[in-house]
Amino acid sequence: MEKLDSFKVDLRGMTSDTVSYQWHIDDRFFSAVQGPEIQQGQLDASLKVKRTSGVYELTFGFAGTVKVACDRCLELMDQPIEAEQTLKVKLGDQFEDDGDIVTVPYEDGSLNVAWNLYEFIALEIPIRHVHRQGECPRDAEFEENDSTQEKEKPIDPRWNELKKILDNDKK
């Protein structure tokens, strides 16, 4: 996990009440994190750590694109992502994550936020993600199918004759 060392955030050693971090995230980040949803992407990420009475409020910001498989054609597509997420952290006896606040052991005094950042990014992928209209290879397929179907179904002249007979019967 050497590659992710730059995501280690020192909390105990903070010399001022706010600290900021900036990262550029690319494919190397995703391959080092080894998350299931995303393997490729390009994003700018930032983190602002604010310390108030023993609690550290971490505000992550990220913007860019990640590659995910299109629901229709299964080819990789660019999914734009831009969001902000916060995480509360405190120092304690042992590592704990109760959903609201993460406790980091006092001896460590730091938290590697690579996985948190990954999870926040993955959360922003919409449930349904497809290529933009006109960019999905499946669009072309559907259009072709539509036009061939119409060509295969010319109106049978006999049908018109039959229709006339039926119409006459109704009168």
Give the footprint of Zn ion on this chain (CB under 5 A). 70, 72-73, 131, 136
Cβ atoms within 10 A of the Cβ of 94, count? 9
In the bound complex, what is the minimum distance in angstroms from residue 146's beta carbon to Zn ion? 17
Instruction: Give 73 or 125: the residue with its C-beta nearer to Zn ion.
Output: 73
Instruction: Give 12 or 132: the residue with its C-beta nearer to Zn ion.
Output: 132
Alpha helices for the chain (secondary structure H): 27-33, 114-123, 137-152, 157-170
Six-digit token string for 120:
């926040």
> For residue 55, what is the enclosing H or E element?
strand 55-69
Distance in angstroms (rounded) separating the CA atoms of residues 124 and 79: 10
Q: Indicate the pairing of strand 40-52 with strand 110-112.
A: unpaired
Instruction: Give 8 or 72: the residue with its C-beta nearer to Zn ion.
Output: 72
Side-chain-side CA neighbours of 39 within 13 Å: the count stands at 5
Instruction: Give 76 or 101: the residue with its C-beta nearer to Zn ion.
Output: 76
In the bound complex, what is the minimum distance in angstroms from residue 133's beta carbon to Zn ion? 10
Say if residues 134 and 30 touch (Cβ distance below 8 Å).
no
Distance in angstroms (rounded) separating the CA atoms of residues 14 and 109: 10
Instruction: Give 78 or 124: the residue with its C-beta nearer to Zn ion.
Output: 78
In the bound complex, what is the minimum distance in angstroms from residue 40's beta carbon to Zn ion? 16
In the bound complex, what is the minimum distance in angstroms from residue 149's beta carbon to Zn ion? 22
Q: In sequence order, what are the beta bridge partners of 4? A: none
In the bound complex, what is the minimum distance in angstroms from residue 38's beta carbon to Zn ion? 17
